[in-house]
Chains A and B, each alone.
Chain A
Amino acid sequence: MDLKIRDVRKEYGSFPALNGVSLDIRSGELVALLGPSGSGKTTLLRAIAGLEIPDSGQILFGDEDALAKPVQERNVGFVFQHYALFRHMKVFDNIAFGLRVRGRARRPAEADIRRKVLELLDLVQLKGLENRYPAQLSGGQRQRVALARALAIEPQVLLLDEPFGALDAQVRKELRRWLREIHNETGHTTVFVTHDQEEALELADRVAILHKGDLQQVGTPDAIYDEPATPFVYAFIGDSSSLPIDVRSGEATLDGRALPLGRVDAPDGPARLHVRPQDVTFVAPGEGVALGRIAALRRLGAFRRADVEVGARRSRIEVRLPPEASFSEGEEVGLAFERFAVFPAEGAPSVACAA
């Protein structure tokens, strides 16, 4: 089932949660909605499900207008952040719920419901736990029950809100891999919300990045990481540093000194140069594009990180070095950029270095 989202807007009071978001999701695709809290990603997911009504815009399931239908008729499988299992029902009844509430004409016989539920329990690897109550399960098990319950209604679209948010790191990693396998097996069109970029990049076919209600970029994990479309995406995904520069007819300057980057594709005026730590290399002083001074040198596990001050304003750039690199603090070095991006300063995040 293709999913088309057209210019969807939603405001809470005067706070715009979604600022005209358009996104096409292909049948069978696994898409991540990634963004910091308050980016509108959960609002978008809930709008697809029918749990929020957008102020304007269109949501199409195939060619059908989903907004014309209430949540009950959209046939979406929704997995809630804290699972929202029915606490007074056993696992079996939780999973069977969506089948049992169907109208007489569409309701399967109790024997078929039973078969289906046991099948799903098998799929989510919880065989034998059908008589437990949710309170008697671990977080990871609850998560699996929630998924089985959502899959029971044979949804057109599977929606997951922060599916691994409440789990500890070890279980999270395991479930991530497992969810990908389930997706490959069942082939549901799946959208999940996360604030964890690692999760999004590892799990999704395509990642949609939201920031303050705007869709910043949609693309494969490779495209998102290698060709960030906006300063926000550059800063949000992976590590990066940014330098305040000026651009005059395609020539960049840093604090009044020329920065020989070649022709820069940015309008005249203040701009920011973004570069990832692994894309900076040290060359002899005087070579490369800029001269810097190593301000700090730290060992971080598999590599060494240097903070280098450049320009009159001593802007800092993070550089990743091999552990055997023999530099010392205070040393002058030349910097070469293998890959970088320049964006106009307006709209650039004030803190460019993502944690």
Chain B
Amino acid sequence: MPADPRQTLPAHPVAAGASPTTEPVAVRVALIVVALAFLALFLVLPLVAVFAEAFRNGVDAYFASFDDPDTWSAVWLTLGVAAIAVPLNVVFGLAASWAVAKHDFRGKSLLVTLIDLPFSVSPVVSGMCYVLLFGAQGYFGHYLQSVGVQIIFAVPGLVLATIFVTFPFVARELIPLMQEQGVSEEEAALSLGAGGWRTFWSVTLPNVRWALLYGVLLCNARAMGEFGAVSVVSGHLRGQTNTVPLQVEILYNDYNFVAAFAVASLLAGLGLVTLVVKSALEWRYADQLASGRRH
């Protein structure tokens, strides 16, 4: 093997054996340190702080903070709101992505833009919109009062606000995947005699099942953790319209730090579980997730 000509040129800036796309060691180390420090400071540290504060007065104090009936009602309310909002958004998301990905119609790009609207609008603004529409002084306030339906400062308002904020998650996960898959499998099913409903259940849905689960996961995490929109429409009635994030705020404002962080640790735990399941899905079914390729 001939001698590497670079070795005879000591002043050459590229070290022998280095590939042109590799940075010098010092740069690599510096970049990694910066990235890790950033992660530690902004992600790991707060997470550790949540648990540290929650357990500051010992394990007993941690569990004692869950003796509060208001906290339990907040947990049940959050689960309830998510149990309504997530399935509805699955249906809406499937319908929207089916329409967008498998059909051509006028106003399609407008629909796609609208689906993304909740991502671009501040959740507080969306909460305000619901108050404006359904509140006592709102456009439909008088009518709703006359039929005895309360939406704002009640559970329906929480559900509406949560649906609005979490609407894009399922649809955004499904649309690119469905578009990529095209319609030929559906056409094949139809040509073999299957009806539309059968085609949906045995061809369309199974082809997007993992992406759907992925979307549901993200949708659920957001539904349970949503603060801004929910805060506006909730009215903060203790034991009635406080979801878990709102309960955390109330406890914190009451200087009940251990309880506030204990309840917050539930949300942090939910976040961690979501992250693990999400990563597992991405690892196992990357080829069947649109985002697996997007990232």
Chain A complexes with chain B: yes
Q: Which residues of A contact B (CB under 8 A)?
A: 49-51, 71-78, 80-82, 84-88, 97-98, 101-102, 149-150, 152-153
B248 CB, min distance to chain A CBs, angstroms: 42
* Cβ–Cβ contact A86 & B203, under 8 A: yes
Instruction: State the main secondary structure of chain B at its contact with A.
Output: helix
Q: In this assembly, does B24 line the interface, its C-beta being within 8 Å of a C-beta of chain A?
A: no
Q: Number of A-B pairs whose CB atoms are under 8 Å? A: 64
Sample of 18 more A-B contacts, CB < 8 Å, known A71-B187, A97-B194, A101-B192: A51-B190, A71-B190, A73-B193, A80-B184, A80-B188, A84-B184, A85-B188, A86-B188, A86-B203, A87-B185, A88-B207, A97-B189, A101-B193, A101-B198, A149-B192, A150-B191, A150-B192, A152-B192
Which of B184, B192, B206 is in CB contact (< 8 Å) with A153?
B192
Q: In this assembly, does B69 line the interface, its C-beta being within 8 Å of a C-beta of chain A?
A: no
List of 6 A-B pairs having minimum Cβ-Cβ separation, nearest first:
A98-B192, A84-B184, A101-B194, A84-B188, A78-B191, A88-B206
* Cβ–Cβ contact B194 & A84, under 8 A: no
Q: How far is the CA of A50 from the CA of B202 in the complex (A)?
A: 21
Closest to A97 in B: B192
Considering only CB atoms and an 8 Å cut-off, how many residues of chain B contact the other chain?
A: 17
* Cβ–Cβ contact A78 & B187, under 8 A: yes
A101 CB, min distance to chain B CBs, angstroms: 4
Closest to B287 in A: A135
- Map CB proximity to A onto B231-267 as digits: 1 under 8 Å, 0 otherwise: 0000000000000000000000000000000000000
* Cβ–Cβ contact A76 & B191, under 8 A: yes
Closest to B199 in A: A101
Q: Which residues of B contact A97 (CB under 8 A)?
A: 189, 192, 194, 202
* Cβ–Cβ contact A102 & B184, under 8 A: no
- Map CB proximity to A onto B201-225 as digits: 1 under 8 Å, 0 otherwise: 0110011010000000000000000
Closest to B191 in A: A78
Q: Which residues of B contact A80 (CB under 8 A)?
A: 184, 187-188
Q: Which residues of B contact A73 (CB under 8 A)?
A: 193
Residues 23-42 (chain B) with a chain A CB within 8 angstroms: none
* Cβ–Cβ contact A49 & B191, under 8 A: yes
Q: How far is the CA of A247 from the CA of B189 in the complex (A)?
A: 56
- Map CB proximity to A onto B174-197 as digits: 1 under 8 Å, 0 otherwise: 000000000011011111111100
